[in-house]
Chain A
């Protein structure tokens, strides 16, 4: 145990000073009379801490390799001369170590005395929190005087009239940098221990910090002595976490003081699922600290999870339920009871009038498993139909379908730690450094250790080239040609006989393999043909295929650039084919790994959010499965699949679908073809939106139920590695109910007898009814921290790696992946291909991150365009441009860059005024209806400002957001 946890106190994680040694051989030594056995290679510092003896330290922390610069961790070793640093000295068998003696005390005091002689605390002032490690060590060594005084050259006091510079005659003061919205850098307090620099390099992998100069002039600077916000810094917070002084400190802590209690919980941003300690003062979160025991993040974080939680207390949050008759009426704030009675009454009226199938619900990938489970239960049990869908429809539904068809499970095959043993990474359609930053840091670390990476992406993303990262091969394919390139790679692997026949014969369906071989061997998939379709070099295709097949452990990582296509499911199967053919499954370092976009995409899919599936991906037509729920819920369930999101909208425009309950999803902004969505919503008679903010969809809503943030509830999220992470309530729900309670109240208003008193009871119901979750309980999660499903009798502590002793499906299934060009081919009217993505500091539709300091980095969506395409059209950098497709048009400002290839443009969709999805089309994945966001044929031209649609929309926006008694609309 390395954690002392108490519900009402501050969770403090022990800092062992140096990383854990992974050696198997152990060594026994004595520290201050205590005997301790540790793995070989452990530092004396760490061994001492494990024995319960804390050695003072400043430059050491267990997130980083030892450095040996601060000279306060010295010890004495019997039989050895001198006083070696305990952080850099490894343990030896039978070693006898003393951590205190008169000599050591004197040295440590002397060193600390020198530090304070050039430190603000040396002036008797409290410059920071007074609670830093530096303050702690000063107390520990019993520092009581400063014989050196504070006069002379120093870094603490500015001297008028002398400019800082290099050379011995200049002074050394540097002004404080407050440019980052979340933390400040006060160089006066810096002791140049390099922990921040090393954290930026070793943990985050950005290399944005350095020590400038030498000797007394040494100081930490960002990039080339630039303001933090303008430097290469990505604001992950690793340096702030590492800093032993208050030189780098969170502004919130400086302003509000140190936290009083903390709760370990799970981040609600991307699918990495980082664990954080939410640190609270009073009833306000003052800091999110990455949790070292978190199995997905191991103590690291990104700018979103670490800092961008301010939306939880943003003034735009709606805290009272609201109702209105028509969407043109102003909102009326009402009691929960009235809002719920109104919604329930309307739903029942609509069903009476238009039939049982005329209403439905949408679950959210942002809410907990328990909340998602309740929404689908409400639809199936309460509405009596299967009209339930989820926002995962628009992102990873092809992953579910594709992996289920080939491997037999709708999830990634590995845990994140597996990347530590990968030799060749094949990255396609994902941009981890922006969308999954904490996992990207793990990838970069492995790349620095010598692993290789092949990137298939229309853009030159950071993993193609950035400091200390260089892809061996980058295949900048034309958007929409994923299936062609994957089949092309398979062609090389098959025709050059690079496949793993033993593995295939043992684990896969040999007939299916032979059939697939015949298919991919066809000349129309040879590298030359593939190169022509994809717009890349044929020889690079050959080399990339050979590298993946023969370079050791090959691990595939992919994202929405694979799934959000008309052939999304085909491409996912193409990836599974490659992994099976090369035997890259069922052990560490390999696998097929979807990088999930939202915190609980995996969970919301697992929880039966799709219209044809119960929790655990069991089809609703299976009688035995339906029986389980019918017995438990006491109703007869419909065995016909219900409507998907886009079918619901179609049915609404046709007049047969009239009411919807939408929890935590902004379908108007995030779903494709915004005009179609708007028309569908406008045609409904009761739209119930359950969200934190009056989002875009809420413009068409009749009932608004205020939502709760992840800080306000208990539950679980499931990350991209199938890890079930606990979400713990940090503060009370600001709008009275956590989302699961609100759904329960709605169910009760509809006459259902629901009596859950805690989400753990919902999880118990899930476990009792779902084989893959059979062993899961909140007790288990409390004990283990987290587990990866399947978690049942066969795997009581969960399953980090799947398909170990054979593929779950029985025999791996190879599927033919015929390339069918998307209908969105560029032509003379729309000669460019638009693809969309995410940027580091913003998240999805931006509802959360736009309401935080993160907007400093990304105040608007920009259109990336290649210099040639820009020149052809007379477009300058920063100019307003019109972006038009067959579906519609919008305007935004151009960003000229050669990151995109000629013929490709790229934008993000974080800001509602951009309305990027006005231009995306209705095309969807053939198997799952996942929209084709990633390819739209467009034209781009100079423009003067917003389009008519954008102006109309703004008009409507103002009209539909009035709240009675409030002067202004909420946004």
Chain B
């Protein structure tokens, strides 16, 4: 499908100049008075004199050539055609020589061209830009760059030392054949097999981010003795099935898209319930969701029953409206910046193309134009940073949990209904339940003098969650004070279907006897049984952990209904349900409390509004000249980059969801030249510590060349179309399994002089390249060793920060207490905040895409790992655990510390040294020393 589209595209391009020429000729005949321009006589001398020094054969400033008609049609880096035959007003050349834009005038630093020369050029274009001998020439976008070609499955090389005896069977996967061939060409080969004790440590960390427990190591060593291969493959399968697999690999994915739970920028507000996206990623990886589906869901999950997956699109930072200011240009710029964050996320993670480079001009290195960039923004025009109720299919775990809790709540409500009304606190709003009644109108009379409502909803038993009082149902609203406080907060806001700060605010004189009230008159008789009151529901849904949260007040009020005989009759009141009924029925309070508890659970474990993006009506998308929203140019249709055959047949009339779903299908197509390559390379990077293409998010010309191009393509082919039996297409787990089963993974990491000399970085894999573990691995391993690690998968993260003022920085209040003893994946990911412990270990600040983490070694890491409260407390807990496990025997306790932290026993020298420290000072210092050791810090 892919290639076909591309072909059609090119043939259209070939036809285009001819069409234009015919049209131009026809247009030309309409010009009666104008003198015919002769290119050679009139135009060429001007170009030669004025332009070609900088835009000719030898030099092409700004990528522009004006000595060829085709190049003129294409234009330069700006992405605008220098000349559109017949349309001088659309020709950028004319614009710049006329000095229409103060900031961009040609020729530069010179006076404007003489008027008659401008006139000649304008008329020449008007007359069709006839250029003898070049009328058929067309500048074709094409690329011979390897990564943009279709994947063709290469032949597997025969292994140089094709030893088939059992001794070498560990190094005989297809991957090994490619690797060994390349090594042999450098006079190198694999190192010896890794010590099984180190192998299980390496594998466990790579697959789950957790080192093995001493018991797991012991079991593996026993099995390994009986049959190395069998034991190893069994271990691989067990670890791939572990729920911690998704946590480890989810962390890698979140890095790439710089996902975080705050906005960044000034207020750096918390993104409420954004973590449902993190759980989605972990769950998807654990379920081994096919990668193409994983990609599609993150782009268009709202139409696939996994709404929370679109958290992907809003993973990057954004500046909220309040911080943008009120200047219209700044507001437009901020929106363009948000779109750019989406482009960066998509380009870096799925496509492996630095699409963002084409925001202001054509890409400098890759055949991606500014039109491509804006065509891609057109795909995502309906996405805005914010919260919504994610769309969940019936079998979605959150929805199932929600349904279960709702059923429980409903059962309890049934009990209460027998006893009269009651009130529920849903955080965003309060809901008053009462005995159902049919009425034409209601009145709510408040008992306090100060009321603020962004919405007052009336609900009934017949239409689930439909607001009967909505202004869209021709409901007449009345009340006091009608225009609200200071006449600026009109009562119409209570039923305008808008949540947020635009509220009816009614403050009346406290001493007076008049109190605020709201009346609704329905169009027909309505059956009602609930009221819902809120003051700022949007704010409640959007953010959290702020000192000055909009307060959900408990208003005291009574409600009256309008009887058939035209009288107002009291029906229910808050005082009555909360006080009187409790006095009457002693068991009622317990049920209300239980409902309240279930509501709390629901808002934690069920479907809730979450920061996974919200949708707006897509606006017409235009190319923005030089990336400036103040210079909108031609309209573009939603599409992928043309070089990849990205025409999706979409127009500006298509809805946002359709646009994204169509794009998702295109980008996750098995023939896309990049999607599979980029992903297998990413998996390789996380298994071996470096990619076959080292620039894992840039497969363009500015990126690095692959060290093993054939191997990469073989894996990409195998990924989408597996040849091995029982393998599903796009299976991430199968691919990772293939990598860790290889001999390359199972060899020793010990250096040898020859290898170091030829390939010191071990990129060719003559050894398994050791490296310092990431922040998460170090922290989790310490907690696991002390027996403190809570291994619960998923849910809200743990907090180490304060509750802050809106415009203040987050401060770390507790980064080591018991409530933080979960895997570090669950530490709330805060943009640009130092956690005062592990940020020093290259933990990303989540501001820019982090396709790979740099590994640096700094004294601050040493200080944190030596002196922090976290390490001191955990050292003590490890020592306590070791002593508990070996009462009264200090020597055994030291051994236990080694087992827990390093997965091995100390030798005699080590034991003696440790024992003397333990006896003279304390065992916890032994644990502290081991935590700081290189052996603990490095992936073996």
Chains A and B are bound partners: no
